[in-house]
Amino acid sequence: MGFDLPQAAPLKSQVQESEPLCAQVVALTDIGQKRKNNEDNYLVLPLDGEVLRQGAEGFTFSLAGPGLLLAVADGMGGHQSGEVASRLCVETLGDELVKLLPGESNSTESLETSLRSAVEATHGLIFDASQKDPALEGMGCTLTGVLLSR
């Protein structure tokens, strides 16, 4: 069996400062093989407040601004209300990060500090919700994310 790979465009050794960087993101989730419901949720958040429009190939936008947060939360298997925890996670994380972002200086250190604080606040909100409602007791989720900035 054989197949041909399409020719890749030659890679540039360096990105010029004047060249705009773009990102194309496709968000997919899967129920998996053990669950009856999908407990995955995702977040695609441009830090400049750009409104995302999803096209056939996913989300496409410029990275010339302050950055982009991509995150996936997955409810913990075997625990109740994992889908609630993962939804709360991506909703809260985006809101908290936007509140905490530094003004004009989006240095790597300030973005890292803001993201860490947003994750901690998100964890606190999910934990508090699980303590207040017996139907949500023990809920949790995993979070994987990346913050892209130039």
- Give per-residue pLDDT as tens, 94-142: 989 988 886 655 677 788 888 999 999 999 999 999 999 999 998 999 9
Predicted confidence at residue 73, as pLDDT, reads 92
Tokens 């250190």 locate to 109
* pTM value surpassing 0.85: no
Residue 141 to residue 139: CA distance in whole angstroms? 7
- The beta-strand segments (E) located in the chain are 22-25, 40-46, 59-62, 68-75, 141-148
Contact indicator for 70, 146 with CB cutoff of 8 Å: yes
